Structure 1
Amino acid sequence: MNIRHVLFATFIALPIFAFAADNEISLVIKDHRFTPSEVKVPAGKKVKLVVDNQDATPEEFESHDLNREKVIAGRSKASIFIGPLKPGRYTFVGEFNEATAKGVVIAE
């Protein structure tokens, strides 16, 4: 591989690394609750939610506002991509524990 190939590969990969570092938000499910229950994201940008289910039981991340639905097995993680979003509030719930697992994404 010559230097041009290395430079080209580096420039192609840079936006991927920048995306991962700047637009990743962590959510934890513990005791059937989301922490934090409110997350702020930049409007107009794609964002990766990394949901860490620390409970032993599965939970379903569900949001009609975000048009997303994903089951996350107990003691596992899942990535959910959202956006780009217009400024506003977007609710989500843990469908298996809706009474306690609630949250909101705020795009600003």
Structure 2
Amino acid sequence: MSRPPRIAAIAALSLAACAAGSARADDMPVIKVEMRDGVILPAVIEVPANTRFKLEISNTGKSPVEFESTELRREKALAAGSTSAIVFRTLDAGTYQVFDDFHPDAKATLVAK
């Protein structure tokens, strides 16, 4: 008879943990980046250093794009008209180069400070 209360307690703790995790995700800074047919806007992307954040990338162009950074070891391909995100746990203060792998002339700088 002691098992049902234990299961209920575990379920309650699981729900509380999920709620706490989603609350933290909602509090995370979101930095928006637009990619459009060979252009990355803004050209200098400022993000918080040593803080978890989300980079929301929107492709507003008519061709696919790929947000990429060799230094950060991150890449994200997006179809025309789509939006996606990359969550960074933390970044050390510094400057990182990013580019559109499908449009080699499209470059930007991500600055963590």
Aligned to 2:100: 94
Is 1:16 equivalent to 2:25 in the alignment? yes
Identity of aligned residues (%): 30
Is 1:74 equivalent to 2:83 in the alignment? no
Counterpart CA distance in 2 for 1:92 and 1:83 is: 18
Show structure 2 runs of 5+ residues with no match.
1-11
Q: What TM-score does the superposition give when structure 1 sets the normalisation length?
A: 0.81
Q: Which aligned pairs between 1:1-108 and structure 2 lie closer than 5 A?
A: 8=16, 12=20, 13-19=22-28, 23-99=29-105, 101-108=106-113
Counterpart CA distance in 2 for 1:52 and 1:68 is: 16
SS in 1 for 2:102: helix
SS in 1 for 2:58: strand
Asked if the contact 1:66–1:82 (Cα under 8 Å) also holds between the matched residues in 2, the reply is no
Asked if the contact 2:37–2:63 (Cα under 8 Å) also holds between the matched residues in 1, the reply is no
Amino acid at match of 1:44: N
* Higher alpha-carbon deviation: 31-40 or 8-17: 8-17
Show structure 1 runs of 5+ residues with no match.
none
Which protein shows a greater Rg? 2
Count of residues in Structure 1 that have an aligned counterpart in Structure 2? 99
Asked if the contact 2:36–2:62 (Cα under 8 Å) also holds between the matched residues in 1, the reply is no
Compared CA separation, residues 29 and 83, structure 1 to 2 (3 A)? same
Aligned to 2:8: none
Measured after TM superposition, the shift of residue 98 of structure 1 is: 1.3
Compared CA separation, residues 91 and 54, structure 1 to 2 (3 A)? same
Compared CA separation, residues 106 and 57, structure 1 to 2 (3 A)? same
